[in-house]
Amino acid sequence: MKCSIRLKLIAGFSAALPLMAIMGVVSFYSISSLVDASANADHTYQVIDGLERMVSRLKDAETGQRGFIITGEDRYLEPFSTGIAGVERELRDVRVLTYDNPFQQKKLDIIEPLIQLRMEKLTEAIKLRREVGLESALGKISQWDSGKHVMDALLSQAAAMEAEERRLLEDRADKTASTGATAKMTFVAGSYLSIILFGIIAFFLSRSISTPLSRLEAAVWDIGQGDLTTRVQVNSNDEIGGLGTSFNRMAEGLQQAVSTFEISNLELKQEVSERRQAEEEARSLAATLEVSNRDLQDFASVASHDLQEPLRKILAFGDRLNSRYGDTLGEQGKDYLHRMMDASQRMRDLIDDLLTLSRVTSQGNPNVPVDLAAVAEQVLADLEVAIEKSGGRLEVGDLPTIEADPTQMRQLLQNLISNALKFQKPGEPPFVKIKSQLFEDYLEDDTGSAHAEKMLELTVEDTGIGFDESYGDRIFKVFQRLHGRNEYAGTGLGLAVCRKIVERHNGTITAKSKPDQGAKFIVTLPLRLPEGATA
Ligand SMILES: Nc1ncnc2c1ncn2[C@@H]1O[C@H](COP(=O)(O)OP(=O)(O)OP(=O)(O)O)[C@@H](O)[C@H]1O
Ligand SMILES: [Mg+2]
């Protein structure tokens, strides 16, 4: 059965309750008896006083009567009358006070006729004095010598009543004293018992509440210090026991969670180190690739350069052959020679283009602030003839200054604008729009961390023939063309160069188009390049 702290407290105080109740009853009883004793003593003194006053009033009446008899003056009758009235009043009061005491009532039954008798005699003597004279009254008084006996009898009855009252008082005082002694004893014993009982209750409560709470507090402190193996001993099945069990469960959970966390932390660390290793490998691969790329570029550059020489000779000798022996070659020979010269020329163009492409990275200039508006103006001047020929219209918006290679920016704009002018619908003059806007983007630096960068978005849009957007990627590859050379001149290198330039400046280039609905080329470039960003 679960024995809650509340139950324990109730049980402890219930044990103390009967003792307190006994002490309460005894105290009540003792106090009531002391109050009664005091009331009784008061009552006794009231009776005794009443009796004394009654006798005293009687004596007053006697004194008044004597005064009148001797002097015959009425003024002595006043104390007489007051005394008579006082006697009767006091007698009545004493009777009321002792109504529950048969002994005293009996005594009063004796006293009352005596007083009556005495008062009758006194009144009779006054009457004689008034009506007959002093002699006669004095004679009568001397005859009534028995009046003294009446007074003595009365006094002795009153004394007996007083003695009875005093005896009763003593009896009650004895009883009160013994009650007081019992109460005192009960109090002392009760107090000792209470102290012992409360001590026992306190001991048990401390054992079942305070001690386990302290243990719990120590365990919580240990957990706080990082010792997750700490557990508390649960000895009771009350709330504190429940608290201990919950604490142990919590510590267990915490320990498990921490160990899980440690494991996942370990795994995470391993993952991070693996990722770092992979990044390291990727970096070294990139470095190797860059080296081989550079080797390849060098090779392309050297090869193109070296190929130019024999090509030049082929063209030169072909030219001589044509001029000196052209007539002897015959029609077919001339045709062969002509085709050979054409192919050689084309090869020369291709080699030139390859050289141009390889120079984008091999012969790039350092980055400086470049005013794109000025660059666009120069390009338009260069393309003046082409613009006039096509009858096209150009609209150039505000262009900013960016950090870049000025020559390559010019190349970029030139290739894009010349394409826009070139790939026009037959008989329809092209309209080309060049505009730009700034935005913010997050770029990764060499360490792999991202940072906000101000970017430029440059668009070159035309109203020409356009192309199917599924070729959007292909057109940026070297020598890839979507249209026949006979329709639109070119080698298919312009956009490849553009992409290389843009990538060298940490930017991007994409195209949007639909056949017959014009094309839009979007270039993004950072306004400022991080140091050493370009090759
Ligand atoms: N504005 C455009 N409208 C439609 N097609 C385009 C446009 N620009 C490029 N193209 C397509 O992409 C191909 C590749 O363009 P790119 O500039 O690389 O080569 P090119 O202009 O044909 O030759 P080059 O630029 O070497 O003189 C073009 O041949 C053409 O088919
Ligand atoms: Mg082109």
- Residue 111 φ then ψ, to 5°: -65, -40
Ligand 1 atom showing the smallest separation from residue 518 Cα: 3
Ligand 1 centroid, distance to 473 Cα (angstroms): 12
- Ligand 1 atom nearest the C-alpha of 493 is 26
Supply the pLDDT for residue 445.
67
Give the Cα separation of 422 and 519 in Å (integer). Answer: 12
Calpha distance 52→94 (Å, rounded): 10
Tell me the CA–centroid distance for residue 518 and ligand 1, in Å: 13
In whole angstroms, what is the distance from residue 325 CA to residue 330 CA? Answer: 10
Q: Within 10 Å of residue 529's Cβ, how many Cβ atoms?
A: 19
pLDDT at 455: 94
Q: Give the whole-angstrom CA distance, residue 439 versus residue 456.
A: 6
Specify the pairing of strand 368-371 against strand 401-404.
antiparallel
Residue 419 confidence (pLDDT): 94
Ligand 1 site, residue 493, Cβ cutoff 6 A: yes
Q: What is the pLDDT of residue 1?
A: 55
Q: Is the CB of 464 under 6 A from ligand 1?
A: yes
Instruction: Give backbone dihedrals phi and psi of 523, rounded to 5 degrees, phi first.
Output: -115, 130
Question: HSE of 167 in the Cβ direction (CA atoms, 13 Å)?
Answer: 9
| Beta carbon of 50 within 6 Å of any ligand 1 atom | no
Quick check: CB of 467 below 6 Å from ligand 1?
yes
Unique residue bearing structure tokens 């070119």: 490
For residue 418, report the distance from its CA to the centre of ligand 2, in Å: 7
CA of 512 to the centre of ligand 1 (A): 13
CA 443 centroid distance within chain:
38
| Spatial distance between the Cα atoms of 154 and 142, rounded to a whole number of angstroms | 20
* Sequence-separated (6 or more) residues with CB below 8 Å from residue 180: 30, 33, 34
According to the model, what pLDDT value does residue 41 have? Answer: 79
Give me ligand 2 centre to Cα 135, in Å.
182
H-run or E-run covering 510: strand 508-513
Single-letter amino acid, residue 464: G
Domains of the chain: 30-183 (1.20.120.1730), 364-526 (3.30.565.10)
H/E stretch holding 471 reads: none
Q: In a structure prediction context, what are the per-residue pLDDT tens digits for the chain, which is 535 residues long?
A: 556 777 777 877 787 787 778 777 877 877 787 787 778 778 888 888 888 898 888 888 888 888 888 888 888 888 888 888 888 899 899 999 999 889 989 999 999 898 888 888 888 888 888 888 887 777 777 776 556 777 888 888 888 888 988 888 888 778 878 877 877 887 788 788 878 888 887 887 777 777 888 888 888 898 888 888 888 888 878 888 888 888 889 989 988 988 888 888 899 999 999 999 999 998 998 888 878 777 777 777 777 777 788 888 889 998 998 889 888 888 888 899 889 998 898 888 888 888 888 788 777 778 899 999 999 999 999 999 989 988 889 999 999 999 999 999 999 999 999 999 999 998 889 999 999 999 988 766 666 677 788 999 999 999 999 999 999 999 999 889 998 878 888 889 999 999 999 999 999 999 999 999 999 999 999 998 765 555 4
SS (H, E, C) 84-123: HHHHHHHHHHHHHHCCCCHHHHHHHHHHHHHHHHHHHHHH
Q: Looking at the CA of 484, which ligand is closest?
A: 1
**259-279 per-position pLDDT tens digit:** 888 888 899 999 999 999 999
> For position 535, what pLDDT does the model report?
45
